[in-house]
Structure 1
Amino acid sequence: MATIKLFHFIGKTYSNGESPILLRVTHQRKTKYIALGYSCLPTQWNKDKNRLRKNYPNYKSKNRVLSTLEERAESVLDEFTKLDKPFTFQSFEDRFTNITKSCTVYDFFDIRINEALKTNTKGTYKQTKNALYKFAPNKKLMFADIDYQFLKKFETHLLGNGLSGGGVHFYMRTLRAIINEAINRDYFQRELYPFSNQFNKNGYSISHLKSVASPRALSEADMERIKNFPLEDHPTLKKCVQYFLFSYYSRGMNFTDMAQLRWTDIYNDRIKYTRSKTSGNFNIKVSPPLQEILDYFKSEYTYTGFVFPVLSDFHQSESQIKYRVRKCLKQYNGQLKEVADILKINIPLTSYVARHTYATTLKRKGIDTAVISEGLGHQDISTTKAYLQQFETETIDKADEVL
């Protein structure tokens, strides 16, 4: 019966001095070599053990890969015996290479980018690919090169470049999805899966990277300052202040949803829309403060079917909408910094502060957390509790003062 063995073929030398590591298959005194995609210097190969030496970078993880390939070759040989199939080099190679199809990490990213139907998904894959390439600029990076140590170093690299835990979590989550799909398509061995799961308890976990919510809610006094902002002294900031107040009065509607809100979404004194982030449906009563803001925008901007002057009928494609919203949001947040400076508000004022302030204001007024959670459209009440963490801390601090 045929036999297999890992073999360092020094008969061929690359320009960097390395020689390929091959799988040698022997049957009836005939031999066939199958390339495995790895190479090393003669001094990095242990002939006795047929494995890489310690002086090879990440030798442990690479040896695990070689062991896996060797085991798969053995399993293919076993199939011929169990099924009583006649052995041929071609049939062995076809079966072996079908299991271990070769595709670089970056090539597979390109495959997924081209397959993605949504612009957001394409953007996510592109961002992650670019971030990974800055860390590992090796176009021939293979999935087998990504192990626990690789991921930890990638994490350190991202944090060192100023990303928050949430930012790192975003890239790691996307990379994990790419690897999962690569496994489904036989581009990567499931046994080498580097992330933590029920079968690999010691794998790399992304749970510690989840952003710890650090909500920033305005105090009642600061919120009153914004409500009474001296618009006549700062007319260029009027639209910005109105945006913020609209979000506050509309249960913390985010800017993306505000930008896409149409006048046809407002009828019978209700605002009805679907939140883009969660696909949750909202039905909000138009309160007097909201009506005042709506009246302002209706009188000032009547050239489009949108409530707010962000999008127009020109913005048709998903990419056009995304780019325009992002550009306007950046301008909006920049103006909010001016508002904060004028009003001497100490916390960083952004569009999202309106959402946190809405939730915290309701809590201050005794509204149950479950009701606030429903108003925000949270699927998990723990998310709402994170929003209210600052309020809970302030309440406990005041309680401590009686000691």
Structure 2
Amino acid sequence: MATKAEIILDTRRETSKGYPIKIRIYNDGRKYLSLKEYSSIEHWGDNGLLKSHPDYRRLKKKLLDREFQLVREVDYCNENNLGLIESFELIKNGIDDRETRILQLKKELRSLEGDNEAMLFEFWDLFIKERISQKKSIKAFVDTKQQLKDFMLVDDMAINDINYEFLNEFSNYKYANDCGTGGVSFYLRTLRTVYLAAQKRESLGIKSVNPFKGLINESVSKDPVEMTVDEMKKWKNFTPHKFTRESAAKKMIKKRDMWLFQFYIGGHDFVDIALLEWKKNIRNGRIRFKRYKNRRHPNGGPTIDNVLTPMAMEIIKKHGTPYRDRVFSFIPHPNDKESYSHYINNTRRALKKISEDLELKDRMNTKSTRYIFKTWGDQLQIHEGTIKQIQGHSKQGVSSRYGARLPDRVVDRVMKKIITRKK
């Protein structure tokens, strides 16, 4: 198994200084390496440390430097087929200066032999370093580089050797390994970004061609799912097959109920459900929060302030965790990316299985409730502005800028009309 590593905020145990920042290392298991730095959850986002951290400038520089070093260390672990313990020790102690010198000598040797072609992964590492200095995310580039290294039979290749045939073979390799169209397009787009960046540097002598033409699906998005009123009734009444293990059946029902809860509060994202807190977001029979998706927007975007209908309250009563800060604390915190991703993937599989068992026209997923709620509102001829307020969309157009927020009684009536729709 390939070694992978990332810098994370370890939210499993809080100390007096906050949560520890660690390197999480995977390879047939996982180990953690402390960086002896700390942060609270509110100062840590999807891309790591936030500017709100009181020691941001010093700590951000340290983490960026460590992240770039980590990329080289992981590459070395995989090139030498190191296991988890060996990888941990190498990442802990760093790559010997001797290895760095070997890489430099190899580059010099190619130059002396007259082989001055720009090499893909050498430039790739430079590109990643530049993005780190620009404080941009490098995850997509680290992941895609590893996918290419798994595919290629050589340690590196000339950038000018990237052609349609190579890209087509890589695409077919990924399809054969159960990668979908969206995933293949993602890897190709990421590779294209690096390729075009190299092409702009005249000193590298990259050919002015576009080998990606015709290979990248620029419109991978699917049509929104649909659900009829009759299908919704079947969904609410779903019971697992009688031969399903009791523990598995309970998990399936819980995931079904969480999907319904998303719908009952206006079709909101699963991550917003995961982050709900009792004191902060639930009060006076209402649910109030800002969408996680808008966290980078000024003031966090529009505020959601929707009524909790009896159906939504019943799910909170059934599955809520009243002795924890979060309403549904059994869902891993989104800051724990690995655990949260694992939970989401299991949820998607469960929703797909329920959809298949009920023989629904479309397969439901964690994003489906948003489309369904909006579609039902349109079919009931609900005013678009009301739906936007319920779902937290920013209003567009000149006239909407001067429109006041609709009163609760109006929006609540619409909410109930949509989720209790009879036909």
User: TM tier, shorter chain?
Assistant: 0.5 to 0.7
* Aligned pairs (5 A) from 1:2-81: 35-37=114-116
TM-score (norm 1): 0.54
Cα–Cα, structure 1 residues 230 and 134, in superposed 2: closer, same or farther, change >3 Å?
Answer: closer
Give the secondary structure class of the aligned counterpart of 1:35: coil
Partner of 1:353: 368
- Offset, 1:347: 3.6
Question: Structure 2 matches for 1:146-161, cutoff 5 A?
Answer: 146-161=162-177
Instruction: Name the count of aligned residue pairs.
Output: 272
Write the mapping of 1:3-402 to structure 2, written as runs, cut at 5 A: 35-37=114-116, 102=118, 104-111=119-126, 116=132, 121-183=137-199, 188-189=204-205, 192=208, 194=210, 204=213, 208-229=217-238, 235-263=250-278, 264-267=280-283, 269-276=286-293, 279=296, 281-282=301-302, 283-288=304-309, 289-298=311-320, 301-311=321-331, 318=335, 321-340=336-355, 343-345=358-360, 347-367=362-382
SS in 1 for 2:116: strand
Residue type at the aligned position of 1:172: L
Task: Give the direction of change, closer, same or farther, for the CA distance of 1:224–1:176 in structure 2 (3 Å limit).
Answer: same
CA distance in 2, matches of 1:112, 1:161: 28
Counterparts of 1:326 and 1:120, CA distance in 2: 22
2: CA distance, partners of 1:218 / 1:117 = 47
Cα contact 2:269–2:366 (8 A) shared by 1: yes
What is the deviation of 1:322?
Answer: 1.0
Higher RCO structure, 1 or 2 (CA under 8 Å, sep 6+): 2
Identity %: 22
Residues of 2 paired with 1:334 and 1:118: CA distance? Answer: 38
Q: Does the CA contact (< 8 Å) of 1:252 and 1:376 recur in 2?
A: yes
How far does residue 325 in structure 1 lie from its aligned partner after superposition? 1.0
Q: Matches of 1:237 and 1:118 in 2, distance apart?
A: 44
Q: Aligned equivalents of 1:305 and 1:119: distance in 2?
A: 32
**Matches of 1:177 and 1:374 in 2, distance apart?**
37
Deviation by residue 1:39-70 (Cα, 9 ceiling, x = unmatched): xxxxxxxxxxxxxxxxxxxxxxxxxxxxxxxx
For residue 213 of structure 1, report the CA deviation from its aligned partner: 1.4
SS in structure 2 of the partner of residue 192 of structure 1? coil
Are the counterparts in 2 of residues 169 and 210 from structure 1 also a CA contact under 8 Å? no
CA contact (8 A) 1:261 1:273 kept: no
Shift of 1:120: 11
Question: How far does the alpha carbon of each residue in 1:223-244 deviate from its partner, in whole angstroms, 9 at most, with x for none?
Answer: 122234469x954433212210
Any idea what SS the aligned residue of 2:114 has? strand
Q: How many angstroms does 1:372 deviate by?
A: 5.3
CA distance in 1, matches of 2:308, 2:337: 29
TM-score, structure 2 length as denominator?
0.52
Q: Which amino acid aligns with 2:327?
A: V
CA pair 262-184 structure 1, distance change in 2 beyond 3 A: farther
Report the CA distance between 1:341 and its aligned residue.
5.4
C-alpha distance 365-309 of structure 1, shift in aligned 2 (>3 A): same
Q: CA, structure 1 residues 241+174, in 2 after alignment: closer, same or farther (shift >3 Å)?
A: same
Residue 193 (structure 1) shift:
5.4
Q: CA deviation at 1:327?
A: 1.4
Q: Which moved more, 1:244-253 or 1:180-189?
A: 180-189
Q: 1:168 to 1:369 in 2, by over 3 A?
A: farther
> In 2, are the aligned partners of 1:106 and 1:141 still within 8 Å (CA)?
yes
Opposite residue 368 of structure 2, the aligned amino acid is V
Amino acid at match of 1:365: L
Give the Cα separation in 1 of the matches to 2:374 and 2:277.
25
Asked whether the equivalents of residues 179 and 188 of structure 1 are also in contact (C-alpha less than 8 Å), the reply is no
Maintained 8 Å contact 2:159/2:206: no
Residues 208 and 377 (structure 1), Cα distance of their counterparts in 2 relative to 1, 3 Å cut: farther
Q: Is the 8 A contact 1:247 1:254 kept in 2?
A: yes
- Structure 2 CA distance for aligned equivalents of residues 257 and 185 of structure 1: 43
Q: Which residue of 2 aligns with 1:62?
A: none
CA distance 1:205–1:330, shift in 2 (3 Å): same
CA distance in structure 1 between the aligned counterparts of 2:159 and 2:356, rounded to whole angstroms:
49
| Cα distance in structure 1, aligned partners of 2:229 and 2:290 | 28
Counterparts of 1:207 and 1:167 in 2: how far apart (Å)? 11
CA distance in structure 1 between the partners assigned to 2:120 and 2:367 by the alignment: 36
Q: Is the 8 A contact 1:217 1:357 kept in 2?
A: yes
| Distance in 1, Cα, partners of 2:362 & 2:338 | 28
For each residue in 1:239-282, what CA deviation from the matched residue of structure 2 results, as whole angstroms up to 9, or x when unmatched?
Answer: 21221012112333222332233331344624212333885635
User: How many Å apart are 1:323 and its aligned residue?
Assistant: 0.8
- Separation in structure 2 between the aligned mates of residue 191 and residue 326 of structure 1, nearest angstrom: 40
More deviation, 144-153/125-134: 144-153
- Cα deviation, 1:63-101, whole Å, max 9, x if unaligned, reads xxxxxxxxxxxxxxxxxxxxxxxxxxxxxxxxxxxxxxx
The letter for the 2-side match of 1:276 is K
Q: How has the CA–CA distance of structure 1 residues 221 and 132 changed in structure 2, closer, same or farther, with 3 Å as cutoff?
A: same
